[in-house]
Structure 1
Amino acid sequence: FRNEIVARQFIFRMREFEQMEMQFFVKPGTELDWFKKWKEIRLKWHKALGFGDASYRYHDHDKLAHYANAATDIEFLMPFGFKEVEGIHSRTNFDLSQHEKFSGKSIKYFDPELNESYTPYVIETSIGVDRMFLSIMSASYCEEQLENGESRVVLKLPAALAPVKLAVMPLVKKDGLPEKAREIIDSLKFHFHCQYDEKDSIGKRYRRQDAIGTPYCVTIDHQTLEDNCVTLRNRDTMQQERVAISELNNIIADRVSITSLLKTLQ
């Protein structure tokens, strides 16, 4: 997408990288209000990922490009310090007026409320795809010492971004537990990405799922065959709760969906 002269700090600065950009068109004279609004919205979106408010800050620009009247960066606390992950800029009408100038075509917007035409101003947000990946991975990776003296590697990915949402595990590979586990996974696999795991002890299976960032694990035991309930384990807290199989889909879907994350921005 764009060349960098010096590549450094792993994938933070590469010779070729990718960005996601949005151009938001506004009425002239309202651009600074919209700039302020988009600053707040974008920071709120970053914070919704759950890495803590202290991990983010604004860096407002004192020196502006000749076409801009406001600019700021959202910076994230990387392992090597606060670094920019997203830029927000008020670009006035420079972009559209340049298109109009060199194309020779009028691209003014007719505002029916004002009954007049004008060249819209632009608020731009631009987020680095590679930098977001780096920030999420570096903030998610943890090595924890547990109370029993053991340690675990856990990838505390935001549940909405975790590739595997749920692991389903029979406590043992006999007595009808694998069949019940398969039945559960067959009913859930159409709603989110699940894994089935029956190899090794339940503790080792939990550790494997922790390491790849799976937010929830379900264990099927002998009592499941009697009461149709399973043990649901939370990756981050390692707390376990007994829930009905009939409620699993609703519980997991609500906790891992991008929709639930986006609702926090309202």
Structure 2
Amino acid sequence: MSEVIDKVLDLAKRRGIFWLSYEIYGGVAGFYDIGPVGVRIKNRIVELWRKYFVKDNGDFVVEIESPMIGPAKVFEASGHVESFTDPIVECNNCKRIYRADHLIEDILKKSVEGLKPEELTRIIKENNIRCQYCGGELGEVRLFNLLFTTNIGPYTGNLGYIRPETAQGMFTAFKRVYEATRQRLPIGIAQIGKVGRNEISPRQGLIRMREFTIMEIEFFIDPEDNNIENIPLYRFKDTKLNILTASEKEKDGKPQEFKLEESVREKIIIQPWMAYWMAVASSFVKALGINEFYFEEKLPYERAHYSKQTFDQIAVINGIKVEISGHAYRGDYDLSRHMKYSGQDLTIFRKYKEPKMIKKKTVIVNNTKLKDKELRKKIMELLNGKSAEEIEQMIRNNVMIDDKPLSEFINIVEREEKVHGEHFIPHVVEPSFGVERTLFLTILSAYKEKEGRVLLSLPRHLAPYDIAVFPLLEREELIRKSVEIRESLSEKYEVLYDDSGSIGRRYARADEIGIPFAITVDPQTLVDNSVTIRDRDSWKQVRVKIDDLKISLEKLFRGEAFNKIGIEVNDSNE
């Protein structure tokens, strides 16, 4: 596993895809610069995600942007201040700190995700796991909060946090977005943005970072509307999901294949909309060039504090298994918490098809017996925020006010009322991808070696450049013609022009960054106005007229067979 990852890391550094940040100071773990080639691939991945998740679902998904930094109250409400933790353990001798669960997994080769600190401590002691640096004894496992803290403004008491996910910005803006989008559910709020997590042991390049970009949707639904007919599952009628269920996982089973509707009917996926977004994620990941993956259900103790059910989408690349996306059914946890902490109403009104007559208890205050202002104030403070049912229970319990029963001043009466609907808190389904991790896995999947050379066999729509244009020789007339071709093609395609070094070296450089096709201008071009087109993956070349070049390229990008585009030629410059 490490060998191929090391090769990808080397390629990424050499070809300007990504590298460790602050290299001149020795680098800082968990922070990476995305280079000029990497940014081009990354941007195309982001646009591809936007197509699959936002544009193709434009009837019910919109996109917003929210700040990276939020006041402490937001993350107290979200549960991150309390629950966003990882287990750490310190060497008693050299004071080196490890992430406890990762250390155990690396040594014992078994998952201990989600276990409590005391359970991890017991495993470390029983297996005599020691410091990997000095061999010293390890201490007790404790929890470490992953939030980056900051101050908002010049005052030290105004605590803020860098968001660890983009989600909270969508939750706090939910009502505003709902009102701006014709007040209807379901509504998905998408966001692409930077986040920070103070990871204990960032590793494996872009797989685990301290600052990265997230692409995610918070999809708000009516929890009572579970009619499959209202969900466009028909778009994925032939889709099958490979799912490792929690029950199979507990007995070391394997993923099983389920039809999409079957996974919903049999409650393998408890929320139908989550099945829909898992199907979208499947299509998206295949478009990245990753064809082997499955969804692994997290066990209850592995799930985040907000989750009712979670699936990790696990990509399998050359035997390497890495999470590429997460899918969580968050229930009403987030909106209900923000309602509680902000005091704002984030409910939605559900209108009944027909009005209903319901019995409703009402609190009646006996004003004739409450002329004393102090007594009235005491009673109002006692009743503040309580429901009629709670107050009725207080009367049954014979609660006293100034030595008099509460029932002397308060009555509860039951009346019939016609109601036209009810308020409810929407539930949320969340599909989430890390951009840099997706970039890394896309490159890992595309990495190939052929005859001692490296090529990046990216899907054509993800390549940093669509086409490369090369003059074969450094002759003025060839360079002039190459520049003309580049300018003509640049109207439609991303084009790289390169006239430095031998043609073989230029082909190799283009292969290593994944350019699908290279056009070469050679002396024959000046004779018959033709050029060669070279295919990245097969290294085959065909000769076409410049007048037919745009049509030939259109055919290639539509997927037409390479040998049907022009006359195949042999090239001795490879």
The yes-or-no answer on 1:35 pairing with 2:336 is no
Aligned counterpart, 1:26: 221
- Could you tell me how far apart the structure 1 residues matched to 2:337 and 2:491 are? 49
Structure 1 residue matching 2:484: 3-state secondary structure: helix
- Structure 1 residue ranges without an equivalent (≥5): 146-150, 258-266
Aligned counterpart, 1:119: 425
Aligned counterpart, 1:98: 337
Higher alpha-carbon deviation: 31-40 or 73-82:
73-82
CA distance 1:250–1:57, change in 2 (3 Å) = farther
**Alignment-mate amino acid for residue 125 of structure 1:** P
Q: How many residues align?
A: 250
- Whether the 8 Å contact between 2:289 and 2:442 is mirrored in structure 1 is no
Aligned counterpart, 1:14: 209
The yes-or-no answer on 1:182 pairing with 2:522 is no
Aligned counterpart, 1:264: none
The yes-or-no answer on 1:129 pairing with 2:430 is no
Aligned counterpart, 1:239: 540
- Whether the 8 Å contact between 2:215 and 2:434 is mirrored in structure 1 is yes
Pairs within 5 Å for 1:1-266? 1-29=196-224, 30=226, 32-51=271-290, 53-54=291-292, 56-63=293-300, 64-65=303-304, 67-77=306-316, 81-111=320-350, 116=421, 117-145=423-451, 151-174=452-475, 176-225=477-526, 227-249=528-550, 252=553
**Alignment-mate amino acid for residue 86 of structure 1:** S
The alpha-carbon deviation at position 82 of structure 1 amounts to: 0.9
- Whether the 8 Å contact between 1:159 and 1:255 is mirrored in structure 2 is no
**Alignment-mate amino acid for residue 164 of structure 1:** Y
- Whether the 8 Å contact between 1:108 and 1:119 is mirrored in structure 2 is yes
The alpha-carbon deviation at position 86 of structure 1 amounts to: 0.9
The alpha-carbon deviation at position 110 of structure 1 amounts to: 3.7
- Whether the 8 Å contact between 2:288 and 2:462 is mirrored in structure 1 is no
The alpha-carbon deviation at position 235 of structure 1 amounts to: 0.9
- Structure 2 residue ranges without an equivalent (≥5): 1-195, 227-269, 354-419, 559-574
Alignment identity in percent?
37
- Could you tell me how far apart the structure 1 residues matched to 2:272 and 2:426 are? 14
- Could you tell me how far apart the structure 1 residues matched to 2:463 and 2:499 are? 21
Greater C-alpha Rg: 2
The alpha-carbon deviation at position 37 of structure 1 amounts to: 0.7
**Alignment-mate amino acid for residue 50 of structure 1:** G
Structure 2 residue matching 1:133: 3-state secondary structure: helix
- Could you tell me how far apart the structure 2 residues matched to 1:60 and 1:244 are? 55
Length-normalised TM-score, structure 2: 0.40
Aligned counterpart, 1:263: none
Runs of 4 or more consecutive aligned structure 1 residues displaced over 6 Å after TM superposition: 253-257
CA distance 1:91–1:251, change in 2 (3 Å) = farther
Aligned-CA RMSD value: 2.9
Length-normalised TM-score, structure 1: 0.80
Higher alpha-carbon deviation: 240-249 or 193-202:
240-249
Greater RCO (CA < 8 Å, at least 6 residues apart): 1
Aligned counterpart, 2:184: none
